[in-house]
Structure 1
Amino acid sequence: MRRLLADTTPLQNQDFARLWWAGVVTVIGAQMAVVAVPQQIYEITRNSAYVGLTGVFGLVPLVVFGLWGGALADAMDRRKLLVITSIGLGGTSVLLWAQAAAGLNNVWVLLCLFSVQQAFFAVNQPTRAAVIPRLLPIGQIAAATSLNMTVVQFGAIAGPLLAGVLIPMIGLPTLYLLDAVFLLATLWAVVALPPIPPLGEVARAGLRAVLDGFRYLSGQKILLASFVVDIVAMVFGMPRALFPQIAHETFGDPVAGGFVLGVLFAAMSVGAVLGGVFSGWLPRVRRQGLAVIVCIALWGAAMVGFGIVVWWADSGGSALLVWLAVAFLAFGGAVDMVSAAFRSTMLQTVATDEMRGRLQGVFIVVVAGGPRIGDVLHGAAAAAAGTAVAAAGGGVLVIVGVALCVVAFPAFVRYRVGKTLS
């Protein structure tokens, strides 16, 4: 059992441990803010179309500053960049508190502040990820990645649940202020880091540096394949846009949402947390490329199973089928966590340090952009053929897509830890 539980060896490193424990607090605060922004927009407008604008105002800075932030992480001291972006994140949370406390009720001010916050986040995340290989030996990176992802998924469960409880009790303004206070923990952990200056040749953090990162990626088949398989999984196999309709039409939730909707949204994160808790075996896996392929195929199979259960329930099956649907989603979340841990480990070990920040920026863009494209495709497919067909059909396309990737990237399937294949 001890060999199955998460490997906590990286926590023996004081710098990593401070970052990790601070992350437990700040991720929960960030996830509460994720609920607070759309909730405040809905309160102001009573219009879901305005709420949907958070996707545009969040994705654009995430793409632009994610790529540029990766270039910055390769061009300057990463500790200094983390301090700047952590202060920026806290500052925007304070401004969000101020506009809510003042009762401005201006949706455009709120969206612009949200966009600025996402820009700081987009620079912070690739920098934070690029720091890990400078703190830990290569053999501990898989375990460290798993620990970090477990915290993120735990926050995705605890943050929204806490927000739902706290908003009626303390109000939205105080929720924003709590996010700012929680960020002090990260600032403390970052300030305590040693200087982490760039290694090797330092490129100016401009468009040329970003393009150099893409050129480098095009020549690294292992890393390129890791991005492609993730896009396949998230674009074709992420059915979250279907959850409101499935919760209402299939399982009887109110139109405004209810218990089933919350359970469906939480299911993948619950699975991911369980996958992280029992991740002690991950560092012992040598053929990480093959492991990613298997995990993504299982993710596709889980989405096929989810779609079949929805079809069964639509056809008059028991209302208890919701728990079988949740089980498929949770299983999908668990294998996705394993896949993500291996892909992030590959990125941190295969990429050279002078390119690591830029490739982490691409990683953030792929991870954030893929599911948003998937939302559009699943919504259109559900409108044309129904939610069950959209979910199950997406899972089938994932399996087909990953099979094509095996043919297109044989070096990825053969990849072993510590051996770079181009």
Structure 2
Amino acid sequence: MVPSAPPPSPRRGHLIDISPLRESPAFARLWAGSAIAGIGGQMTIVAVGLHIYELTGSTFAVAMVGTLALVPMIAAGLYGGMLADAFDRRRLALASSTVAWLSTIGLVLVAWSGFEQVWPFYLLTTVTSVAATITGTARQAIVPRLVPRELLPAASALGGVSMGVMVTVGPALAGVLVAAVGFGWTYAIDVILFTAAFLGIVTLPAIRPEGETSRPGLESVKTGLRFLKGAPNVRMSFIVDIIAMTFGRPHALFPAVGALVIGGGAVTVGVLTAASAVGTLVCSLFSGRIGLVRKHGVAIGWAIGVYGAFVAGFGAVLAVLVLTGSSRSDPDIAGADLVALGIAALMMAGTGAADNVSSIFRNTILQTAVPDNMRGRLQGIFTVVVTGGPRVGDFYVGVLALIVAVWVPPLLGGFLIIALIALCLRLAPSFRHYDADAPTP
């Protein structure tokens, strides 16, 4: 199924390589559909946080949206990866996308009913997260079957572009729409945008795992975990991402930052959330030479270290405002501290760019070093790491902000990331010496 064209020569320009879109129309459709649907998904994530904060006035309640979904998402990643290594990955992605779409419709109905308790939001966002985890597992296991191996870093960079667009446009729309038309219509627009995801999936051919397949069941999951145990490079790529997301994910603080520290309310939340996506987008747009990098482990370590530095910078901005008594609480953006907002947004843009570099190389390691008939299960674990790590981070942020102060989690977390990543690289020589020309798990 991978196009049989001659291997492309390495790119030497700085602008993003769009060869995967030209080489594989199926990948192009999947990429475009996911990006459009993702705009609505990111819009709803921000809207739900704002909705719960409006109902409760609690940052901890906002953080619990992700925390409550963590255990079901872990199960979904493992189970979904097992299914992706046993059945048609296209059908699996289609079924899980349908469940996510229906749960989003549920949010519309709850919002329009005027129901003012938070448990339906926790329930429906958990269902959406579980379904999205399975969809992401299947979709990422599909990509190496659509794109030549030489173009997988470029395909990952294109994923950074779509993520950048999603997280730039979605949160910005959420801030504007919530203020202009309310929560119900904001969720309804997500329902409409979600239909684009079906176009990208439905038009794919059947994609069954290559080689010997495993029967679904606990033993299949155990086989995947045993493979990971013997795959130090893949395992370390998971560990370093968990570190970054656990201690460097300040997004659950944004409603409180907009309400109590910088001011500006929903618009500030949208700006800060979008800023990290702008960093991701700009980084991807200038990723043309990224396919020339061979030492992926070293590149990941440096990228996450830089990520930690920007997270600490964001915390420092909040600390200065709080400790000097310069905090703003005006919900109107005109009354916000625009200088502080600009600096904080710049720090978040830096986190987005650094995380994108790490993500490109971590994805490439997984897609090239793992055999196809194991890729679903390993991708399932990877999806649990990528989506579950931020939930652990939300809990860390919520608890520490509650018992200490809103600026402590990012400031402390940034320095912890730098120290822990340096330790990981020192203790994992095979990861430091990982060579993309000879990918080994």
Q: Could you say whether these structures have the same fold, taking a TM-score greater than 0.5 normalized by the shorter chain as the test?
A: yes
Structure 2 distance, partners of 1:236, 1:228, is 13
Give the secondary-structure state (helix, strand or coil) at the position aligned to 1:71: helix
Unaligned runs of 5+ in 1: none
Note if contact 1:70-1:123 (Cα within 8 Å) is conserved in structure 2: yes
- Comparing 264-273 with 336-345, which one deviates more in the overlay? 264-273
Residue correspondences, number = 418
Question: Aligned in 2, Cα 1:262/1:212: closer, same or farther, shift over 3 Å?
Answer: same
Structure 1 residue 397 displacement after superposition = 1.5
* 1:356 paired residue number: 375
Question: Aligned in 2, Cα 1:83/1:246: closer, same or farther, shift over 3 Å?
Answer: closer
* 1:296 paired residue number: 304
* 2:72 maps to which of 50, 61, 70: 61
* 2:436 paired residue number: 417
1:172-211 to 2 correspondences below 5 Å: 172-211=183-222
Structure 1 residue 28 displacement after superposition = 1.1
- Comparing 26-35 with 258-267, which one deviates more in the overlay? 258-267
Task: After superposition, give the CA deviation of every residue in 1:142-180 in whole Å (9 maximum; x if it has no partner).
Answer: 111111122123212211222333345555444433323
Letter paired with 2:31: W
Structure 1 residue 133 displacement after superposition = 0.2
1:62-141 to 2 correspondences below 5 Å: 62-101=73-112, 107-141=118-152
Structure 1 distance, partners of 2:45, 2:399, is 25
* 1:326 paired residue number: 345
Give the secondary-structure state (helix, strand or coil) at the position aligned to 1:128: helix
* 1:28 paired residue number: 39
* 2:330 paired residue number: none
1:44-55 to 2 correspondences below 5 Å: 45-46=55-56, 48=58, 51-55=62-66
Give yes or no for the alignment of 1:15 onto 2:26: yes
- Comparing 171-180 with 3-12, which one deviates more in the overlay? 171-180
- Comparing 199-208 with 313-322, which one deviates more in the overlay? 313-322
Question: Aligned in 2, Cα 1:260/1:194: closer, same or farther, shift over 3 Å?
Answer: closer
* Identity of matched residues, %: 39
1:248-287 to 2 correspondences below 5 Å: 250-251=261-262, 253=263, 257=265, 259-287=267-295
* 1:152 maps to which of 152, 156, 163: 163
- Comparing 66-75 with 299-308, which one deviates more in the overlay? 299-308
Structure 1 residue 332 displacement after superposition = 2.0
Structure 2 distance, partners of 1:190, 1:11, is 16
Structure 1 distance, partners of 2:117, 2:344, is 39
Structure 1 distance, partners of 2:109, 2:256, is 35
Note if contact 2:96-2:132 (Cα within 8 Å) is conserved in structure 1: yes
Give the secondary-structure state (helix, strand or coil) at the position aligned to 1:75: coil
- Comparing 301-310 with 185-194, which one deviates more in the overlay? 301-310
Question: Aligned in 2, Cα 1:177/1:248: closer, same or farther, shift over 3 Å?
Answer: closer
Structure 2 distance, partners of 1:71, 1:79, is 14
- Comparing 77-86 with 337-346, which one deviates more in the overlay? 77-86
Structure 1 residue 406 displacement after superposition = 1.2
Structure 2 distance, partners of 1:310, 1:41, is 23
Question: Aligned in 2, Cα 1:231/1:113: closer, same or farther, shift over 3 Å?
Answer: closer
Note if contact 1:57-1:114 (Cα within 8 Å) is conserved in structure 2: no
* 1:166 paired residue number: 177
Question: Aligned in 2, Cα 1:372/1:102: closer, same or farther, shift over 3 Å?
Answer: closer
Structure 1 distance, partners of 2:37, 2:282, is 20
Note if contact 2:144-2:152 (Cα within 8 Å) is conserved in structure 1: yes
Letter paired with 1:282: I
Task: After superposition, give the CA deviation of every residue in 1:71-119 in whole Å (9 maximum; x if it has no partner).
Answer: 1111101111122222222233334434444556665445433332222
Task: After superposition, give the CA deviation of every residue in 1:324-355 in whole Å (9 maximum; x if it has no partner).
Answer: 33322211210111101110111111111111
TM-score by length of 1: 0.89
Question: Aligned in 2, Cα 1:90/1:377: closer, same or farther, shift over 3 Å?
Answer: closer
Note if contact 2:172-2:267 (Cα within 8 Å) is conserved in structure 1: no
Structure 2 distance, partners of 1:108, 1:283, is 46
Question: Aligned in 2, Cα 1:180/1:313: closer, same or farther, shift over 3 Å?
Answer: closer
Structure 1 distance, partners of 2:409, 2:122, is 31
* 1:5 maps to which of 10, 15, 23: 15
